[in-house]
Amino acid sequence: MTLKSEDIVSLWRKQIQKGYLKLAVLFALTKGPLHGYKMMESIKELTLGIITPTAGGLYPALKELEKEGIIKGEWKTGERKKVYKITDKGKDVFKKAVEKHFELISLTRSWILKEISKLKIIEGLNQPSEMIPAIKVLLLDEKASIKDRIEALESLKADFQGLINLFNEMIKHIDNRINELRFNAL
């Protein structure tokens, strides 16, 4: 049986979500202790709905993270809720995982932009992004001041506006190329 492209992409997306679940758990726990249901809500909110864990996916991940000493769970007295918190080891693992993730993003971004630039759609695609330092401040720097966080968010906003402008420019170039091709086809 041959899968359709959409099915393959959907399968890959599920695998990516599964791979990022543990990272999302740690991210959620950097905000404070949580029990399972609240953690599922927090992860969904923090990832803007990209990762929506189920109990069947979350609890095995929590068990594994707890076994590795990355998180610690404690049963609440008189309740049937286990509250999890991130350990110092977990904070270190989260920081290192995020750093490696940004390395991968940077390399992938450079590769993609290099290939796009070969299409001669638009010039200047290989400029380094300022997004990564801003995101690192927001994710990893627990001691960042409110001023630093505001500056990081303003930087992200400006970068996204730059991307919007870049995409609009690319769309213009693509439209011009389509029109050239149509004109030459006549």
Question: Quick one: 103 and 176 in the same domain?
Answer: yes
Instruction: State yes or no: pLDDT of 85 exceeds 90.
Output: yes
Query: Residue 120: what pLDDT?
Result: 63
What are the tens digits of pLDDT across the range 86-110? 999 999 999 898 888 888 877 777 7
Domain check: are 96 and 173 in the same one? yes
* Bigger pLDDT: 16 vs 8: 8
Same domain, residue pair 13 and 35: yes
Task: Give the residue-averaged pLDDT of 113-131.
Answer: 61
Give residue 28's region: left, alpha or beta (phi > 0; psi -120 to 50). Answer: alpha
* In a shared domain, residues 103 and 76: no
Single-letter code of the amino acid located at 87: T
User: What mean pLDDT do residues 26-42 have?
Assistant: 93
Q: Do 96 and 53 share a structural domain?
A: no
Same domain, 115 and 164: yes
Out of 56, 86, 116, a domain closes at 86
Residues 96 and 70 occupy one common structural domain: no
- Let me know whether 74 and 101 are in one domain: no
Which residues span the domain enclosing 152?
Answer: 92-185
Strands (DSSP E) contained in the chain are: 34-35, 71-75, 82-86
| CB of 113 closer than 8 Å to CB of 124 | no
Same structural domain, 99 and 169: yes
pLDDT at residue 30 in the model = 92
Domain termination residue (choose one: 53, 86, 119): 86
Q: Is residue 131 located within the same domain as residue 51? A: no
In the 3-class helix/strand/coil scheme, how is 108-151 assigned residue by residue?
HHHHHHHHHHHCCCCCCCCCCCCHHHHHHHHHHCCCCCHHHHHH
Instruction: Look up the CATH number of the domain holding residue 65.
Output: 1.10.10.10
Q: Mark whether 65 and 132 lie in a shared domain.
A: no
pLDDT at 126 over 50: no
If one counts the domains in the chain, the total is 2
Last residue of a domain, one of 86, 104, 130: 86
Say yes or no: 97 and 178 in one domain: yes
pLDDT tens-digit map of 131-159: 666 666 666 666 778 888 788 778 878 87
